[in-house]
Amino acid sequence: MDFTSIVLVQIAIFYCLATLLPTSRSNSTLKISAIVVLIILSMSWYFMPDRMSKIGIVAWIILLVIPMSLVARLESLVNKSQYVAASRLARRLRWLMPTDGMWNYHYLLDGIALAGTGQIEAAQKIFDRYQPDNKTEIGRSATALLYRSTDRWHEYIDWVQQRQTLAELQLHRGMTLVYYLRAFAETGDLRRCIAEVARLDRARQLNTQHLHLLKMYILAYCGRVDAVTQLCQSLLSMYPADSHQFWVGTAELAAGEIEVATAQLTKLQQVSKDSCIQQDIAWRLSQPLPDLHKLNPIDWETVAQIEATVGQDARYGTQTPSNASTPVTNLLIGINVLVFCAELLWQSKSGNRDFSFIPWGGLAAPLVLAGEWWRIVSANFIHMGILHLGMNMLGLFYLGKFVEHRLGSFRYLLAYLLAGLGSMAFITYFDTRWVAQPQITVGASGAIMGMLGTMGAIHLSGWRQSKVAAAGRQFQAVLFSVAFQLVFDLTNGHTSIVGHFSGLTIGFLAGLVLLQFGTKD
């Protein structure tokens, strides 16, 4: 198999294994599909090894990639309260994923859409006819959305307490628990909401995104405007702008900025197309916020701790704030893409399908030793195919933006160049000393692995110096990524393990040194 086929097969296998992990949120249909794909890959490898890549990759795309993409799209529509569009998608998706309550989910979404327009009786008839299965996450979430979309918080608390214990809610760890705890705050029992969220945070028993939502609710009810704004711009940036404005407005109300917040929320209610946001605003302006005088010093200390962890999570989380300026990362991606387009143009005009990287500056140890040192630079911007380019640029987009945001553009560029040039120099040394027939090396992988190393240095420094829990967790994630890359390299004969891990090491060391001069934020 060629490089592209090997990489795709490896990705498919890792994708399937990740879907089968106990921590995966995938439903039973996707887990069964993952097993089927692994069986197809195994059978094709045994009986038709020459067709393994085509058969396995097609099965992976049809059975896993497409359904997972549609599920992600469905969740996005629900988060944006676009229930009519979500219902149309769920109606089609049920044929791919008929288990775990998906078969009737589109009816329930229709009911939620009706409830959002005030047609409560019609919505309730749909829920009575297509009774959601409370044993599935979809069924529980649908019922939670029904009550949430109509702000019937008292009724929702009663509904949950009649059917589930708190232990069962914590076991499911879904939006049911999120809305249940929010319901206590909306009905005046903010102390219970604070205590439960603090306990869930200590135990790490809830999906990270859901935990951030609960923290935002508490901080908004307590008038922490800056912290809510920070959450909306970073950890919860995937939610729509109307939702962000609503919670910032709620925080301003709680902070005592009554006239300004009321005017902003009223304007949002008039222009928003989200019926749930409109009803939330009507509820917010007609109902009193939780009485902050009922909070005792321990409660306020917990709120302060929550606010501190939000800042730490935003600072050390892998998601770069939406307003962060990362011009160097954008420039590097642009250069790599332009060079690749030039490669394709030259290839099409020359008619030579067997593309040679030597004229373009590919790294070859004998040529470098012969005096062509510039190849150590040029090889970092050349890629052998669209998959090679795409994977590297995706990694650069996420890793580079984070590192540039934390270190600043100049120090980030310095770390990137040190890792990229250093990895190419180390490959040259290694090929000269221990390889009889050196291969041509191209790609930004060494520099990008360097950014992973720099990210690890940032997290490790944060954990060692300030004992920031978020930094410690992210450093563990970096170690897992390194282990994953090692397995990937060892099972793939077309990648340079020497280049990857020399770049990783240089980036890590460069990060430790550059951090001595402080960080951008």
Quick one: pLDDT at residue 187?
93
Quick one: pLDDT at residue 448?
95
Q: Based on the domain organization, do 117 and 36 belong to the same domain?
A: no
- Of 260, 283, 316, the position where a domain reaches its end is 316
* Residue 264's pLDDT band (cuts 50, 70, 90): very high
Q: Based on the domain organization, do 155 and 301 belong to the same domain?
A: yes
Q: Do 315 and 402 meet the contact criterion of CB atoms below 8 Å apart?
A: no
Q: Based on the domain organization, do 125 and 253 belong to the same domain?
A: yes
Quick one: pLDDT at residue 1?
60
Average pLDDT in the 399-405 region? Answer: 91
Quick one: pLDDT at residue 521?
57
Average pLDDT in the 252-278 region? Answer: 92
Give tens-digit pLDDT for 209-247: 888 999 999 999 999 999 999 999 888 888 889 999 999
Quick one: pLDDT at residue 426?
94
Q: Is residue 73 part of a domain?
A: no
Q: Based on the domain organization, do 372 and 398 belong to the same domain?
A: yes
Residue 292 in this model has a pLDDT that exceeds 90: yes
Among 342-356, 387-401, 408-422, the range with the most confident prediction by mean pLDDT is: 408-422
Q: Based on the domain organization, do 277 and 333 belong to the same domain?
A: no
* Weakest-pLDDT range from 169-183, 373-387, 435-449: 169-183
Q: Is residue 72 part of a domain?
A: no
Paired residues of 363 in beta bridges: 441
Instruction: Return the exposure string of 258-290: e unless at least 16 CB atoms fall within 10 Å of the residue's CB, then b.
Output: eeebbebbeebbeebebbbbbbbbeebeeeebb
* Residue 27's pLDDT band (cuts 50, 70, 90): confident
Q: Based on the domain organization, do 286 and 244 belong to the same domain?
A: yes
For the chain, report the end-to-end CA distance as a whole number of angstroms.
47
Q: Which of 323, 291, 298 is nearest to 223 (CA)?
A: 291
* Weakest-pLDDT range from 69-83, 349-363, 423-437, 457-471: 349-363
Quick one: pLDDT at residue 356?
66
Total domains present in the chain: 3
User: Mean pLDDT in the chain?
Assistant: 87
Percent of the chain with pLDDT over 70: 93
Question: CA-CA distance, 401 to 365, in Å (whole number)?
Answer: 32
Q: Do 247 and 216 meet the contact criterion of CB atoms below 8 Å apart?
A: yes
Q: Based on the domain organization, do 461 and 336 belong to the same domain?
A: yes
CATH number at residue 425: 1.20.1540.10
Q: Is residue 109 part of a domain?
A: yes
* Residue 172's pLDDT band (cuts 50, 70, 90): low
**Helix axes of 445-466 and 297-316: crossing angle, nearest 10 degrees:** 160
Residue 167 in this model has a pLDDT that exceeds 70: no
- Of 33, 67, 101, the position where a domain reaches its end is 67
Q: Based on the domain organization, do 311 and 332 belong to the same domain?
A: no
Q: Is residue 77 part of a domain?
A: no
Q: Which tokens go with 440?
A: 């041509």
Q: Based on the domain organization, do 386 and 491 belong to the same domain?
A: yes
Among 75-84, 261-270, 338-347, 466-475, the range with the most confident prediction by mean pLDDT is: 261-270
Q: Is residue 321 part of a domain?
A: no
Q: Based on the domain organization, do 362 and 252 belong to the same domain?
A: no
Q: Is residue 468 part of a domain?
A: yes
Quick one: pLDDT at residue 176?
81
Residue 92 in this model has a pLDDT that exceeds 80: yes
Q: Is residue 322 part of a domain?
A: no
Quick one: pLDDT at residue 223?
95
Among 149-158, 421-430, 454-463, the range with the most confident prediction by mean pLDDT is: 421-430
Residue 360 in this model has a pLDDT that exceeds 80: no
Q: Which domain holds residue 419?
A: 327-517
Quick one: pLDDT at residue 351?
61
- Of 260, 288, 316, the position where a domain reaches its end is 316
Q: Which of 247, 222, 253 is nearest to 233 (CA)?
A: 247
Quick one: pLDDT at residue 481?
83
Among 187-191, 349-353, 486-490, the range with the most confident prediction by mean pLDDT is: 187-191
Average pLDDT in the 48-61 region? Answer: 87
Residue 200 in this model has a pLDDT that exceeds 70: yes
Q: Is residue 443 part of a domain?
A: yes
Q: Which tokens go with 304?
A: 């302060």
Quick one: pLDDT at residue 190?
95
Quick one: pLDDT at residue 387?
84
Question: CA-CA distance, 43 to 52, in Å (whole number)?
Answer: 8
Q: Based on the domain organization, do 53 and 101 belong to the same domain?
A: no
Give tens-digit pLDDT for 93-107: 998 888 888 888 999
Give tens-digit pLDDT for 305-357: 999 988 888 877 766 766 678 999 999 999 999 999 988 888 777 665 555 67
Q: Based on the domain organization, do 220 and 367 belong to the same domain?
A: no
Question: CA-CA distance, 345 to 193, in Å (whole number)?
Answer: 60
